[in-house]
Amino acid sequence: MKRNALAILVIALVVAVMIYAGVRSSRGPKTTAVIGNPEPLQPNEAKGKQAPDFSLQDLDGRPVKLSDYRGKAVLLNFWATFCGPCKEEMPWLVELQKQYGPQGLQIIGVALDDSGKDTIVKYVKQMGVNYTILQGQDSVGDAYGAIGLPATYYIDRNGKIIDSALGLVSRGEIEDNIKKSLVEDKAQTASAGAKAKS
């Protein structure tokens, strides 16, 4: 009797897995721009984790990988043209790119937008954006756990997320996080240099 119950449970499991696989495959193949199939980050739990690498096209159609910026501090900002709070912080990001770019900051805006490339190009031009804008894919937002917009991730020169924020925060908070990442980067570089000498 126990043997039968166990066998039935195994059969039920096999059938359930087959149904699950069928449901998954019926949804069609998901294209992903995320590189290396990392475990998706949970919202508000990105701090301290390695930033998932991805490859997306910029507004000229050139492929850009996050890892291309290794060695720079990256402010990764998910946004959309329909997002009012995103519009509010864009001028701040323009100023901050100007101010901290020479120290090694690169701001990357990932447009999670269905409105099409032309609309994004027009919007970005109108806002005077001076930093890199990429045409986003949902898979990248999902990999970062970006459930809302704007979603901002502060990534150090080694590709580690040192902090993140969902929604509009103050300019001061954004700037503090940029400074923190630049300082931490210097500290890490110094530590790495000392280890190499010893």
Binding site for another protein (CB under 8 A): 1, 4-5, 7-9, 11-13, 15-16, 19-20, 23-24, 80-88, 112, 114-115, 119, 123, 138, 147-150, 166-169
- Report, in Å, the least distance between residue 28 CB and another protein: 14
- Report whether 52 contacts 67 (CB < 8 A): no
Residue closer to another protein by CB (options 44, 191) is: 44
DSSP-derived pairing of the beta strands 151-155 and 55-58: unpaired
Q: How far apart are CA 65 and CA 44, in angstroms?
A: 23
Least distance between another protein and beta carbon 143 (Å) = 15
Which CB atom, from 3 or from 197, has the smaller least distance to another protein? 3
Question: What is the b/e burial string over 50-81, where b = at least 16 CB atoms within 10 angstroms of the residue's CB?
Answer: ebbbbbbeebeeeebebeebeebbbbbbbbbb
Q: How near is the Cβ of 135 to another protein at its closest, in Å?
A: 15
Distance in angstroms between the alpha carbons of the first and the last residue of the chain: 68
Taking the complex as a whole, the smallest distance from the CB of residue 195 to another protein amounts, in Å, to 41
- As a three-state string, the secondary structure of 5-38 is HHHHHHHHHHHHHHHHHHHHHHCCCCCCCECCCC
Interatomic CA distance for residues 18 and 79, integer angstroms? 38
- For residues 81 and 106, which CB has a smaller minimum distance to another protein in the complex? 81
| Identity of residue 91 | P
Tell me how far, at minimum, the Cβ of 30 lies from another protein, in Å.
13
